[in-house]
Amino acid sequence: MSFRIIFMGTPEFSVPTLRTLVDAGHQIVAVYTQPPRPGGRRGLDLQKSPVHQAAELLGLPVFTPVNFKEPEERERFRALNADVAVVVAYGLLLPEAILNGTRNGCYNGHASLLPRWRGAAPIQRAIMAGDKKSGMMVMKMDKGLDTGPVALTREVEIGPNMTAGELHDKLMHVGAKAIGEAMVKLEMGDLPLTPQPQQGVLYAAKIDKSETRIDFGKDARDVHNHIRGLSPFPGAWVEVEIGRKPERVKVLGSELADGHGPAGEVLSDELVIACASGAVRLTRLQKAGGKPLAAADFLRGTPLAHGTRLA
């Protein structure tokens, strides 16, 4: 047996799920993804999304509507005569006409343990909050924002120094496998749905540039979680004086360290930085336009003496 599936996704995170469904023998009748966006070094070239590129390599039909407001778009979706739609990080809220446009509705792979971290940035927010675990949930979508009943859950531990990028890579493969399992159960008529609890709801708002600057005036653990939660993208940053002028430097890795002093002060040759309480060691940094470097390599080109204050 196999389903007629409409797949809806956009970033690299979605690609393993698409490939899993193809490998399982399902018929992907269409792939929906965000339209090509300006990219390249000068931002002049239109770049297809990772899902768009993967779908073309697989020989699958691709559609890139801006939205589903037009009746023609809704009718095209319904006319595909699909058994189910699978949605992973598509990037659009789907109207009811789309949610009900297949025989079994739409199933979403969401990167959190719902109802905690509904919304756009669940991976980053979980780490920034110091969560000890995350996971992938397969839910049947309704008209709310990540409010639908849950069909399947797979938990993942968050290590003390795990970055958002590392958790992202782990979850995208866990999620692909979970969606594959969910489709087998759905085909067999054995995919029970459990309503989400009313307690514990948190929203994972999109990361804003205004919150990416590191504040060493916070507790060391909060600073550490902030750094790893924004690594590698968009990247937490500090200002460092380079060539007698302040420049932004991204901090892509850190760990908790011993030490105390005025917040933001360099305490050792190993880039231990004092926080309001405790200290963090910066382990991986990146200058604007440069490559990510281990702290020792960064310091060879940009020495930071004891007592230097980072802001």
129: DSSP letter: T
Give the distance from CA 75 to its chain's centroid.
Answer: 31
Omega within 30 of 0 (cis) for the link into 115: yes
113 is in an annotated binding site: yes
115 is in an annotated binding site: yes
- Residue 85, strand partner residues: 6, 106
SS3 300: helix
Bridging pattern class, strands 62-63 and 27-32: parallel
Which of 86, 91, 97 has its CA nearest to residue 186?
86
Helix-strand-coil split of the chain, %, nearest 5 = 25, 30, 45
Question: Which residues are annotated as part of the binding site?
Answer: 112-115
Q: Which residues are annotated as a binding site for (6S)-5,6,7,8-tetrahydrofolate?
A: 112-115
